[in-house]
Amino acid sequence: MDRLPKGALSPFPRGQGCYSRPTMELATTPLRMPADWRDFFALTKPRVMTLVIFTGLCGLLAAPGEIHPILAFTAILCIAVGAGGAAALNQWWEADIDAGMKRTARRPLPSGRMDRDSARDFGFALSGGAVVVMGLANGWLAASILAVSIFYYSWIYTVWLKPRTPQNIVIGGGAGAFPPLIGWVAVTGHITLMPILLFLIIFMWTPPHFWALALFVKTDYAKVGIPMLPVVAGEKVTRRHILVYTLALLPVTVAPWWLGGTGAIYGVAAVVLGLGFLALATRVGLRTSVPDDRMKPEKQLFGYSILYLFALFGALVVDRLAAMQGWI
């Protein structure tokens, strides 16, 4: 290991390092390794971002009308970057909570690979940049919805709801529901019933998806004092809620077909995929865990719920493309 030689220029900005006072500051100022660019990338929650990009892209492709490919690319890029910015702000705020949870303890902030100010600045820069670029390229209505979605996730959900109420994920589910709405509005320039239904699908899908996860990481949430439903109301209530919300989700997913917004491809996919979701949710909803339970049905439901959303929105795009080709 090399030591910074006495009198050498400090890597710190003027006033914080040894530019003006070479020897004194060297002895007292702790030197910090700047975060790696890969840690900044990890801060954007790339795995969550794939679902955001996919649903945003589906909203964009399913919308009636035309959009220049470069502007379409820009819209998706801004949705992704905005989501990344919101994720960075979320991790900046929750660094202490993340440190106490096994699932999140290795993130850049709790593991000490990045300082909090860098995460905060990065989050604000990404969020602001995404909104401005989207406004210039895709119109200010789409940009405004993007701004609302970032605010919704990083403030309403992260700061306000999550530490206060076991209904955090129900109301907070709106944060992840915006991408298809933004994608749609980027093409059409206005809000109609169809993009609102797409918003509602993700809004209703989020609680059973997240509560399935919360059931098998319950102890983690309890440890850091987050009032997730299984922690506050217990497993039985959570299981019943999963079942009820899944039952409420199914008509919402079929509504675009009923109302004539999509064709039979989407309608059949929504029914078949929904029945699969309901079967798994019923198994989770009616069972009781035993000591040292491996929570296999809950893990299966969580995995299936991700696949479900990908497949449902994929069917929406296939349906739209088939209609454009005159196949249905």
Partner 1 sequence: MDADRPVDKVLGARKPPEAPETAPAQAPETPETFDLEAFRARQKARNRALGLLLGALVVLFFAITIAKLGVQASHRS
Give the footprint of partner 1 on this chain (CB under 8 A).
Answer: 1-4, 8, 11, 26-27, 30-34, 36-39, 42, 68-71, 74, 77, 95-96, 99-100, 102, 105-106, 109-113, 115-116, 133, 136-137
Nearest distance in Å: CB 143, partner 1: 13
Cβ closest to partner 1, residue 101 vs residue 147: 101
Nearest distance in Å: CB 57, partner 1: 18
Task: Tell me how far apart the alpha carbons of residues 180 and 295 are, in angstroms, rounded to a whole number.
Answer: 32
Nearest distance in Å: CB 144, partner 1: 18
Q: What amino acid is encoded at 54 in this protein?
A: F
Cβ closest to partner 1, residue 13 vs residue 260: 13
Cβ closest to partner 1, residue 93 vs residue 245: 93
Nearest distance in Å: CB 40, partner 1: 8
215, 222, 239, 207: which is closest to 305 by C-alpha? Answer: 207
Cβ closest to partner 1, residue 120 vs residue 283: 120
Burial of 262 (0-12, 13-18, 19+ CB in 10 A): buried
9, 30, 5, 31: which is closest to 20 by C-alpha? Answer: 9
Please say whether the dihedral angle defined by the alpha carbons of residues 137, 142, 144 and 146, taken in this order, is positive or negative. Answer: negative
316, 160, 294, 133: which is closest to 227 by C-alpha? Answer: 160
Cβ closest to partner 1, residue 100 vs residue 163: 100
83, 56, 85: which is closest to 72 by C-alpha? Answer: 56
Task: Tell me how far apart the alpha carbons of residues 10 and 174 are, in angstroms, rounded to a whole number.
Answer: 46
Nearest distance in Å: CB 184, partner 1: 18
Task: Tell me how far apart the alpha carbons of residues 318 and 62 are, in angstroms, rounded to a whole number.
Answer: 9
Helix axes 116-138, 69-93, angle to 10 degrees: 160
Nearest distance in Å: CB 200, partner 1: 31
* Total residue count of the chain as it appears in this document: 328
- Degrees (nearest 5) of the Cα angle 91, 94, 95? 75
Nearest distance in Å: CB 35, partner 1: 8
Nearest distance in Å: CB 213, partner 1: 19
Cβ closest to partner 1, residue 135 vs residue 314: 135
Cβ closest to partner 1, residue 27 vs residue 290: 27
CB 239 within 8 A of CB 298: no
Cβ closest to partner 1, residue 102 vs residue 294: 102
Task: Tell me how far apart the alpha carbons of residues 87 and 209 are, in angstroms, rounded to a whole number.
Answer: 19
